[in-house]
């Protein structure tokens, strides 16, 4: 039985999880990411010849085109992670898709507990993370995507007063480094990154794909730390390969919406 074609209206009607899974199928087979330049290429013709609907292929093409544009703008200093959204005129399908994901994330924030806190509590109870119900490492679900962001809400910021040593020195001594400018969430030099992993019932996303976000506030002694969010330093040599080729765009969306 031949499946009916996916029209623009039915594309919007597909549930987010099914649509995300279909996009990943196409991505895994027909998108290649250059690990040095972080520019992706998409063989749309091969995807069409393999039987994927033109509307799905068109959405993947918009994803790849926008991510490549984002990569260039980040590297040239035109923007920072979390500050750029797809233009609804230039990328209409992608913008609708991201808006749907954002709306789902907003509902999740009001209806569910903070997954970071629950995961950290599970680690403490079990003693070691491997005793949790963990699946494969670095899968899409373990690291997060639009339909299942990890975490699904902004992690709590914990505020500290640190005088001996001063806050900046304390961060450095505890494994933080100054966040690169394109990835900073504060003025350059006031935001710090400590790479980490993320563990939950969907598996483990290995370090350094997540980070602890340390930020200096007022004076020399005040800081806050937000634990376990997607690491926005996506271009750095220590980062290694992305979990999937659309990871850069997803990280940008997470920091813009979660």
* pLDDT surpasses 50 at 119: no
- Residue 129 has what pLDDT? 31
DSSP 94-142: HHHHHHHHHHHHHHHHHHS--HHHHHHHHHHHHSSGGGS----TT-HHH
pLDDT category, 78, cuts 50, 70, 90? very high
The winner for highest mean pLDDT among 59-73, 105-119, 120-134, 143-157 is 59-73
User: Cβ distance 16 to 147 under 8 Å?
Assistant: yes
- Give 152's contacts (C-beta < 8 A, 6+ positions apart): 105, 108, 109, 112, 115, 258
pLDDT category, 130, cuts 50, 70, 90? very low
Mean pLDDT of 40-63: 96
* pLDDT surpasses 80 at 118: no
- Residue 7 has what pLDDT? 59
pTM of the complete model: 0.85
Mean pLDDT of the chain: 86
Between 41-50, 58-67, 120-129, the lowest mean confidence (pLDDT) is in 120-129
SS (H, E, C) 224-243: EEEEEEECCCCCCHHHCCCC
DSSP 23-90: HHHHHHHHEEE-TTT--EEE-HHHHHHTT--HHHHHHHHHHHHHHHHHHHHHHHTS--TTS----TTT
- Helices 16-30 and 92-111: angle between axes, nearest 10 degrees: 130
* pLDDT surpasses 70 at 117: no
Higher pLDDT, 13 or 119: 13
Angle at 190 between CA 188 and CA 195, to 5 degrees: 95
Mean pLDDT of 124-138: 36
Query: CA–CA separation, 137 vs 81, rounded Å?
Result: 25
- Residue 177 has what pLDDT? 98
Neighbours of 154 (CB within 10 A): 15
- Helices 92-111 and 54-76: angle between axes, nearest 10 degrees: 80
> Is residue 202 helix, strand or coil?
coil
* pLDDT surpasses 80 at 116: no
């Amino acid at each position: 039985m031949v499946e009916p074609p996916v029209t623009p209206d039915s594309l919007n009607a597909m549930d987010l999880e099914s649509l995300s899974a279909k996009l990943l199928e196409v991505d895994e087979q027909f998108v290649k990411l250059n690990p040095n330049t972080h520019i992706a290429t998409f063989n749309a013709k091969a995807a069409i010849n393999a039987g994927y609907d033109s509307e799905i292929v068109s959405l993947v093409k918009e994803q790849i085109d926008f991510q490549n544009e984002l990569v260039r703008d980040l590297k040239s200093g035109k923007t920072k992670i979390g500050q750029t959204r797809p233009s609804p005129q230039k990328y209409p399908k992608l913008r609708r898709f991201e808006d749907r994901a954002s709306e789902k994330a907003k509902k999740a924030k009001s209806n569910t507990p903070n997954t970071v806190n629950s995961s950290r509590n599970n680690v403490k109870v079990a003693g070691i993370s491997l005793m949790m119900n963990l699946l494969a490492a670095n899968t899409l679900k373990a690291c997060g995507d639009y339909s299942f962001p990890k975490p699904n809400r902004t992690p709590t910021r914990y505020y500290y007063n640190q005088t001996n040593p001063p806050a900046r020195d304390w961060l450095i001594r505890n494994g933080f480094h100054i966040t690169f400018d394109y990835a900073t969430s504060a003025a350059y030099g006031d935001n710090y990154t400590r790479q980490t992993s993320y563990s939950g019932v969907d598996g483990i996303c290995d370090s350094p794909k997540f980070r602890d976000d340390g930020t200096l506030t007022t004076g020399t002694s005040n800081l806050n730390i937000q634990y376990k969010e997607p690491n926005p330093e996506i271009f750095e040599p220590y980062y290694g390969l992305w979990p999937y080729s659309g990871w850069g765009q997803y990280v940008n969306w997470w920091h813009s919406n979660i």
